[in-house]
């Protein structure tokens, strides 16, 4: 029998440990949440060391994501895709900024080749990144895949502003903890 649906879920701890009511007014608070999600995902062993979150212009949290590849047996279940997808389901929009609202995606690590494409189609205006692809490779052993040489310039051309290296060391701490654990989850 062929499967006709895909069911992806965030871990149960998100309901107890993420404050969905507070405001995240600036880049620092938004990237801090993405990194905090990555750390909690490692602590709970509920997926790989990556977290992401989507915010509206006022700093309201629309959706979050953590890596769920291993628990879901789904290679697409990266943190950025999970954050975009849960936000799209909540707002019932496949392009999150279609009504002109400025949408921000914050992610604990530079998006991989797949997430790079996903964020272009997801309808965001701003991308906030903590760790670099090199950090992910060196500290946690993940290949981020091929990106255009001028990947951030290609985003800017499409109206997506990019800020990099935000709280990079904090994100690297999580990647290092995961890498040194020797456990794959």
Q: Which two tokens stand for residue 161?
A: 């502003």
- Closer to Zn ion by CB, 68 or 78: give it: 78
Least distance to Zn ion from the beta carbon of 145, Å? 8
Contact call for residue 115 and Zn ion (CB under 5 A)? yes
The label of the residue with tokens 């692809």 reads 133
From 70, 82, 52, select the one nearest 142 (Cα to Cα).
Answer: 70
> 156 by DSSP, 3-state: which?
helix
Number of H helices, E strands in the chain: 8, 5
- Closer to Zn ion by CB, 60 or 74: give it: 74
The label of the residue with tokens 């995961």 reads 178
Contact call for residue 68 and Zn ion (CB under 5 A)? no
Q: Which stretch binds Zn ion (CB under 5 A): 26-34, 104-112, 126-134, 169-177?
A: 104-112
The label of the residue with tokens 């992806």 reads 8
- Closer to Zn ion by CB, 114 or 161: give it: 114
Candidate list 62, 112, 128, 160; residue touching Zn ion; CB under 5 A: 112
Q: What is d(CA 54, CA 105) in angstroms, rounded to the nearest whole number?
A: 5
Q: Which stretch binds Zn ion (CB under 5 A): 57-65, 90-98, 114-122, 171-179?
A: 114-122
Residue ranges that bind Zn ion, judged by CB under 5 A: 78, 112, 114-115
């Amino acid at each position: 029998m062929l499967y006709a649906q895909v069911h992806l879920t965030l871990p149960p701890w998100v309901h107890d440990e993420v404050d969905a009511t507070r405001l995240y007014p600036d880049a620092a608070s938004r990237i801090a949440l993405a990194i905090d999600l990555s750390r909690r995902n490692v602590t709970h062993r509920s997926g790989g060391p990556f977290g992401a979150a989507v915010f509206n212009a006022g700093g309201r949290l629309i959706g979050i994501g953590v890596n769920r590849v291993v628990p879901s047996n789904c290679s697409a279940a990266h943190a950025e895709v999970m954050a975009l997808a849960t936000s799209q389901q909540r707002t019932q929009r496949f392009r999150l900024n279609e009504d002109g609202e400025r949408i921000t995606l914050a992610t604990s690590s530079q998006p991989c080749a797949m997430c790079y494409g996903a964020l272009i189609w997801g309808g965001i205006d701003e991308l906030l990144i903590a760790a670099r692809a090199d950090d992910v490779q060196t500290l946690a052993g993940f290949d981020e895949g091929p990106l255009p040489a001028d990947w951030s310039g290609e985003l800017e051309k499409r109206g997506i502003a990019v800020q990099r290296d935000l709280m990079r060391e904090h994100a690297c701490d999580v990647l290092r903890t995961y890498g040194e654990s020797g456990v794959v989850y």
